Amino acid sequence: MDRELVSPGTLYVVATPIGNLADLSPRAGGVLAAVDLVAAEDTRRARILLGHVGAHPRLVSLHAHSSAARIEAVLDRLRAGDAVALLTDAGTPSISDPGGELVGRARAAGAPVISIPGPSAVTAALSVSGLPADRYQFLGFLPRKGPGRRRLVERVAQSEWSAVVFEAGNRLVATLEDLAAACGGDRMAVVARELTKVHEETRHGTLPELAGYYREQPPRGEVTIVIAGRAEPAAAPDPGAARARAQRLLADGLTRRDAAERLAGELGLSRNRAYALVAKL
């Protein structure tokens, strides 16, 4: 154990492999071997990783449904001077994964928070997509249904930047179909499946082409989708049409907040502009 790699009372946010254990950085391995405590989303998977680097810290579970008392217990260890590492199942904690609350509370308590960067499905998929990646939006997992899903799908359709979303294999076709309906039949995309794993696959095509392929070849595993942005920025909506649409949404019984959210998604308006428009009605 090299205690010089860590400092007392510090939280280390450690990125872990998204599939291939060899992608764990030497620095990350050293930190895991040196900390006093590891707070992990899944302790079973964490034990495999810790065994890979010969690390034997105390291990506790910390996931999306952990109690406030569990988070407070980890903070108590930081206050007592322990070096703590935060792990999720794969990739970087708090990036579409648990951990954000612990990080925020650790900072509020005055504890140093250090990033130990590493693998990311977002950047890995972008790097092999061949689509513009100088600017992009990351939307994580889309809601399975409802207004939230429609709003984010419409945001992808209206954006001039590439978009990255995560999806499970069994829901991939439905998501590609929804994206195709909103973005049009000629919008290009890339499906990156099982990145860094034995059955890694990267497929490029239009959204309808990809939906058709995976309808015939049902996919398994974890999926990252990269969708090209619009060729041109969305045209500014006609103010009269925007007001009329807002009035219809309110007449349908939506609250002002929900109407503004829907209007922003449908017309590509900022949330503030959409809410200001609705508030005037």
pTM equals: 0.79
Distance CA 165, CA 120 (A): 13
Domain boundaries, the chain: 3-119, 122-227, 239-279
**DSSP H helices in the chain:** 26-34, 43-52, 68-79, 100-108, 121-129, 147-158, 172-183, 207-216, 239-251, 256-267, 271-279
- For residue 135, pLDDT over 60 is answered with yes
**Structure confidence at residue 231 (pLDDT):** 79
Please say if the pLDDT value at position 234 is more than 60.
Answer: no
Which is it for strands 37-40 and 58-61: parallel, antiparallel or unpaired?
parallel
Comparing C-alpha atoms, which of 102, 77, 86, 83 is closest to residue 14? 86
CATH code for the structural domain at 3-119: 3.40.1010.10
Measured CA to CA in angstroms, residue 252 lies from 55, 241, 249, 261, 269 at distances of 59, 17, 5, 14, 20
Provide the sign of the torsion angle of the four alpha carbons 263, 267, 269, 273, taken in this order.
negative
For the segment 64-86, the average pLDDT, to the nearest whole number, is: 95
User: Per mean pLDDT, which range of 122-131, 156-165, 235-244 is the poorest?
Assistant: 235-244
DSSP state at residue 172: H
The CATH number assigned to the domain with range 122-227 reads 3.30.950.10
Report the alpha-carbon distance of residue 225 to residue 156 in Å, rounded: 12
- The Cα–Cα gap between 225 and 228 comes to 10
Assign 114 to helix, strand or coil.
strand
C-alpha distance from residue 94 to each of 4, 15, 32, 253, 260 (Å): 26, 10, 18, 36, 28
Mean pLDDT of 155-177: 95
Residues 230 and 273: their CA atoms lie apart, in Å, by 21
CA distance 77 to 182: 49
Cβ-Cβ contacts under 8 Å for 158 (sequence gap 6 or more)? 230, 234, 268
Q: How far apart (Å, rounded) are the C-alpha atoms in residues 242 and 233?
A: 18
Residue of 269, 217, 218 whose CA lies nearest to 242: 269
- Under the banding of pLDDT at 50, 70 and 90, the label for residue 207 is very high
Structure confidence at residue 130 (pLDDT): 96
Locate 193 and state its tokens.
Answer: 């499946």
pLDDT at 236: 66
Query: What is the structure's pLDDT at 260?
Result: 85
